[in-house]
Structure 1
Amino acid sequence: MRAVALILLPLLLQGCVSWLQREPGPPTLASLQARPRTVQAEPVVAPPAGQVMAGYQVLLQQPAPPELTWEATRRLADLQLEQGEERLGDASAGDASAQDFASAIALYRRLLEQDGAFAGRDRLLYQLARAEALAGRPARSQQALDQLVREHPNSPYLQEAQFRRGEWLFAQADYAGAEHAYAAAVAAGEASPFHQRSLFKLGWALFKQQHFEAALDAFTRLLDRRADALERLDSDALARGERELLQDTLRVVSLSFIQLGGAAGIDRYFLQNGGRGWLHRVYRSLGDLYLKQQRILDAAGAYLAFVRQHPSHPQAPGLQLLAIDNFTKHGFPSQALAAKQELAERYRLNGPAWRELDPSSRAELTPHLRRHLRDLAAHYHALVQQKGKASKAQRDAWFEQAVAWYRHYLVRFPGEAESGAVNFLLAELLFERGAFNQAVVAYQRSAYDYPPHKDAAEAGYAALLAFEKQTPRLPEAQRPEWQRQAAESGLRFADRFGNDPRAAKVLSRSAQQLFELGDYARARTLARRSLKSGSSLEQKAQRVSWMVAAHAAFELADYVEAEVGYSQLLQLPGSEKNSQGMIREKLAAAIYQQGRAQREKGATAAAARHFLRVGQVVPGATIRATAEYDAAASLIAASRWAEAAEVLEAFRRRYPKHESIADVQRKLALVYLQDKQPLQAAAAFERVAATPQAIDVQRQAAWQAAELYQQAGSGKQAVTAFKRYVKRFPEPQEPAMEARQRLVELYQQQDQSAKRDYWLRQLVVTQRKAGQASSERSRYLAAHAALRLAEPEFSAFERIPLKRPLARSLKQKKAQMQRAIQAFELAAGFAQAGVTTQATFRLAEIYRLFGESLLHSERPAGLSAVELEQYELLLEEQAFPFEERAIEAHQVNARRAAQGSYDAWVRQSFERLAALSPARYAKQEQGERVFDALR
């Protein structure tokens, strides 16, 4: 027991990690230089977490002082919570993380149920809320946070707890509750990172309740706090997250002002609440929002409202120009003209607005004034030249306007001249006094403008220190230029004092500064130069130089050298784990870019080799899937079908859920087609059809798979594929009908008549239900299917003889006759020329043959001569109507000749008519005349 306590006592004294604290990101080049060194004589190696937790559990089973038991329980809960976090998302851990969270929650609740003799209940509630959230129980997490803020109003966790309560309530659309929570978080202080986010969400909660003025108060406070960032909103120097926050804030501010009257609402609000240096952003945002809503006049009105209120503001000319551009672009020529005239008059030379405008704004505005003055003069000039019914007074006014604007232009731009220059001074005393900007100038003069002396190198190095000291004092906009000057000063130091042991390190720092400024070519040159100094460059500076050399080569598209640099970085001792991952990713990107370069030159096979090298050199690279996809595409372009198939198959196995898997399946199918492997192509197309994507793509792939099986002579697989197609894609009807027709053909080839007839019937049934989905092709297929099904009925009818006893055989033959008639009428009903004539002929033949069968039927035995004569007369009477119906049906076919349908069945109908009605149809001359008349 004592040994366990001695082991665990130091761990009991350690604190917890803050809830959802961000892990530090990979170091920047600047952070590599600035990171302090830590010297530890004897590092303490902590035992594994499992061992520690087991020790705590043993400890809790032994008698111990209450404070040690309490702290051991708390620490065990913390460790279980941390272990659950580590296991979260690890598929191999199963539900172990859930068990960890449940155990931690139980321990925290046990501690909270105690009588409060120990401090830190607010921390327990905080950890409990965190554990409940990670366990997927937000409502219980919210309860713990509610208890925390209720019982511990002075807790250091209060602001975060209130913010997270606000987030929960906001998500539940309880905007009033969220408002109170966010307000409490805001009131808790400005030092926390949650203050700014709470202020932003407070404004949103008020906006959701349509408390627009109050919402604007919150957003205005936020924008006031970020006024410096607002100045850099259009600059790449602003972090993406901060840019998006400011843009979202300006957007909701604009939405609020739309509810308060638009630009007039902005005027009123800031008249009451005081102006702001960033006010132009609000007018611009409102105008941009109107523009997205196609409210062109309102958009321009918002831009112009700011200009009219603040004509000398640096952004005012740009907003007026924006209004003019939108009038012009969206077809408001008269408003555009008025805005141009307003611009020219407002910024008249030596007018108050022009005099108060800063020089840079004047310079930016000048070319636009030049153009718009010409436009105004040209407009009125054109009006004067128009031929029309304008009065003399009107023409005189136009003339005066044109003259005035021409003169204005000539006065304003008589000679088109320009000029400028800047200087700094320094001294060592000023450095000690903290006037670092002046010290820079003095040190550089001392080092480089005088003959050599003993302190020259020190002066040059001190100038660099002065640059670094002054940097934090400068406005953000001035820092890049100051950094460039510092880099140039470092280069001067290395050129003048190359034997100084600090020269290599100075070069490394200058290379880093130039890289951060985007001067990649010079940065790479200086990094190479610093590395040539060998052992005089300490290890940390070596890493910086190699990093700059590699990154700069990458930016300059020298990917071969970039690969060398990143490879060298991975070999340097002392590499940090976080930076190793970043370097590997950059190494993979450099190799990938070599592939792209080869592809752009048309060397697709070489490009593929580079793309495949990504996975060989950096197996875990995030870009590997993209690289291997591009490798396959390059091999396809090079017609290397077998290699492309191998890469695509590997991709399919390695990345079964990749977003490009559908395209990979399609490419694989096409590659197998090109490689003359139809069965493999068919299988690939089947996978395409089964991959989630556009239904048309699936349908086409399923059809192509079935066709390929058929073409490859794999009848069984073709049958299965066409059946699957019919089942999955019954619409559109026409290709589904074609699939049924293919099944008919396949079963015909396989001599499976029953299955063939089943699909013939499916063609007929489907077409009869088609409705508006019917097409000429589907009717054609159905008609021929019906005809094929009808022919066996006709043959069966023919085979039934009329014999004694006549009643029974006559019943059989009549029943079969009805089935045959129905079958041929169904076929004829699809209105397909060749089918209709054949079906009509068959119908006529059915009636004719039935009549003949009656006449030639077997006579009853034992009839006398008189009875036999009467019986035959009776048969003739019974047969006559069928002969008449046969003639009528053949005549229907014959009449089709006049409609342009004269096929073998029509011709046979004419032949039958000649036999059945010779008086009308047997004479050749008369038949020809009748046929001519019918035509």
Structure 2
Amino acid sequence: MNRMRFAIFAMVCATPLLVQTSLAQESFQVELGKDGETIEDMRPVFLTFEARPLPAISPTEVARRYQRLFDASDEPEVRIDALNRLSNIQDVSGEDVGFSADQEARVYQQALESYESILTRGSYSGKLDELLYQMARAHALTGESEKSIDRLEQLVGLYPDSSLVPEAHFRIAESEFASGEYFQAEAAYLAAIEAAENPELTRKARYMLGWSQFKQGESAWSRAGKTFYTVLDSLLPDPQSVNALSDTEVDLIDDALRIVATMAARQGGTDTLVQWLGDGNERAWTYLAFDRLADYYAANGAFEQSVQTNRAFVDFSPEHAAKPLFMVQIADVWRMVGDAAKVRRAHADYVAMFATDTAFIQLPPEEQQRWRSVSRELADYYYHSGSGLKEQAGARAESAFATAAGYYRALGDRQDRPGEVLRLAGDAYLQAGDIQNALQSFQQAAYDTADYGEAADSGWAAITVLRQQWLEGEGAATDRLTGLTSEADRFAGKFPEDSRVSGLMADLAGKWLEAGDREQALKYAQTVLTNPRATPSTRYSAWVVTGRGRQQLGEFGLAERAWKHALDLTADPAVPDEIAGTDDTIRSQLATAIYRQGENAAAAGNAAAAVAHFRRVGPVVPGSDIAIKAQFDAGNTLLKAGEYALAIPELEAFRRDYPSNPLASEISEKLVHAYVSSDQPAAAAQELLDRAKNSPDPWPLKLRAAGLFHEAGSIPRRNQVYAAYLDTQPAATSAAEHIELQTLRHRLLITVEAPEPYRQALLSQEMDSRWHSDQTLAWAARQSLILGAKAAASFATIRLGQPLAESLSAKQVALEKARKYFLDAEALAGDAVLSESLYRRAELYRALATDLMNSTVPGELNELEAMQYQMLLEEEAFPFEEKAIRLHADNHRRITSSGYDAWIGKSLDVLATLNPGRYDRSVRWMSWANDEEGDDAG
């Protein structure tokens, strides 16, 4: 607690102070006592009066001569002078050269006798004031205090202008003080001060004046305080005066401060002291008063008041050079108490008070070092506290780490080699969740600190922080990765020999690839591959990134090379099991790179190269999906290139090797295409029929096969399929299907030996369908005419006999059947078949009329009846003949609208027979546009 006083009073002046000649005549000392148990018992410090220096002669020899002179002389004046000189020698030399204790009592008793003798005679060659002074001294030394004071008062009263008066007042005051007459002592000390011309005596008198006032109690303490302030002002007029203090002055200062502290403590403490000192005067010793009051409180167990006093000085003199010591003393007080928490708070206040650059620079070197030491203690404490709280309370732990980080960081700025504390700051910031400050601290430790052995580890910590940011995904991905990359480049540049560089670069390569920047990824992968310190594991990672990057850039040849290197590394004994276990994955990637080369070659039209690449895939990953796909694509590529002779066996081999693979289902169609394209339609048709066997809906395939048989001219095999399909009685659901079915029927009826079912089906389907085409209508109309002609032929075979009604009825039914077919043909094909239809219909009626006329007459009729019967037949036949003529005439009239054709010509021939007057002419009929030749109607 007294470190400030020890610092201030360490240097004292060892040379005795000189006094005036008048004081050299005597030298005596007064012990006024020490501290008592109460304020009333307190005493001022020991005071010593000093004489002038001795001459350059042995003090012992000089003293021996004066002793001999005192004993040998009978003259009072001589003896008194010898005694004075002897005393001066002893005082100045500091040696025990005077009389012994027993001799001294005898000597001064004899001296008193000499003084009395001189006074009785009334004559003295010296000065009487000096004689009175010496008599007072002699009475004091012989224990006659009252007589001593009487002589001093006599001196003061008789010789007020004597140079000895100030000291006489001082001795009187001391006597009053010793007797407890403090008020009278105060007056005497004031008189001494007023009379004294010697600064030393003045200071001592003022010092004792303060004690006199102090002893009078609290009512006089205000006066005592001012008096002691004056003493202190005289001893410490400026800060530099502390370097020229004697031991006595140090004691005086210490005692004055003790009394001031005592009075302040008893009268309000710190507030009183501030009030006394806050008079506007700047004093060099103010801080000592606060220090002594703080010590007073601490010594008496008032620790809170001691702390408040120290803090009060800091507030009272915020710019004072002693401020750091007061802040430290606060911690010392709490350390005395044993309150570690308050010690830390005091240290924290101390550190905070001088945390700014301006404040820190103003500290003396030893205090700067103390600041560093205290900061480190606080930092370490909070760091360990955070570590202990980490598993229990996250928020409290983070707060502790944040506090520790702040101390470490500030300390790092104030050390020549701050690497360690900056790294600790980074770690503490990190655990406090302050990523940016953690990063900055690690970076400073790594890159801005000279001769730090763990700089690389600090740099790596910064890398780790940025990696964590990347994983947590805070901020834009590209920005985070750019920051990590910049830090990694910085680390690699500063610590190129570090074994972690290759792994770092490999990691960066992977992240850039993931971010989509393949150029950056390949760049960092290359740095790994060219690093001689790269481990097999990091080279593996770099080759993987290279393979993926090249693959994404479409550089599959380079990708293949990278994957081959990576595959080789999976077999390296130095790689961990997780890498060794990736060989199948790498083979898959290698196969993909080869396969993509095949795809590119195929896209470029280089079928041979494509097939060669595709065939290389299988040996890399036999039986894999990509190997199967490559084999399939080999055949497909040949197919697309028109190499059908090569494609067909390739495709057949694929189907044979992988019958269960989904791609095998495409082979059949590709083979069909190959067969068709290579002019093998029958083989294509057979492929379709084979496929149809396992198809849930075989007919589309069979019909396609039939079409190919048709194309190949294999009509029987075609018809076999057509017939089987039509046997299933398919129903058209669209116009296209209707036309397709009608086409099948038409092809059958014109190629099979028994076409009648297909003819009738074609006609009925067309009649019933809502969909038609010109072709199907024409086909149906033709079949209707053919069927009508067949029906007409059947009609002609029916002979009219008896009974006529029965045979005529059958004849009429047959006529109506044929007529219906002709009308259906007209309905289907219109003008295209109308001429023929009209002709055939007319002929039906003409044939019926003829058959009626030629029918037999019943045999039981007589001639007249037979004639009448014949007339009736003619009457019945006439309408039919007329109808035939009318239909033929209608056909004739079509010449003007449709032109001449063979069927119209036949109608004209019939008309010429039936109505020769009108139609039997030698006329050549011509169409409007061109001659009708070669008409085979008839």
The structure that has the greater radius of gyration is: 2
Q: TM (normalized to structure 1)?
A: 0.45
Q: TM (normalized to structure 2)?
A: 0.45
